[in-house]
Amino acid sequence: MEEMSSPRDAMDVLEAWVAEYAGRARPAIRIDAGGEAGGAQLRLKYSPAAGTISILHMVAVSREGRAVILVKRFEGPTAETSVAAGLWASSQLGRRPAG
């Protein structure tokens, strides 16, 4: 296994995995990755049909003193689904009230 000279962000690791997957599998539906610096949020996204999106959203948080990763799937019209996923993640990270 190759050693890294500097630590890699979780987002870099996810993007590398998606790129390798796409290169090997050549899927009919393209998978995309997204997230934020520091790796608190990671998303796998694809578009199953025009105007729709499917998102597997992962959020790293601390609960009762333990690190956990929360995972939730969102699917539907692109704009509404993207907003719903973002609001869910923000509420899990304490940036917005759940509601």
DSSP class of 72: E
Taking the domains of the chain in order of start, what are their residue ranges?
A: 10-92
DSSP H helical ranges for the chain: 10-25, 78-92
Check if the beta carbon of residue 42 is closer than 8 Å to that of residue 10. Answer: yes
- Note the pLDDT tens digit of each residue in 16-65: 888 888 888 888 888 888 876 555 788 899 998 999 999 999 888 888 88
pTM, rounded to two decimals: 0.71
Higher pLDDT, 17 or 73: 73
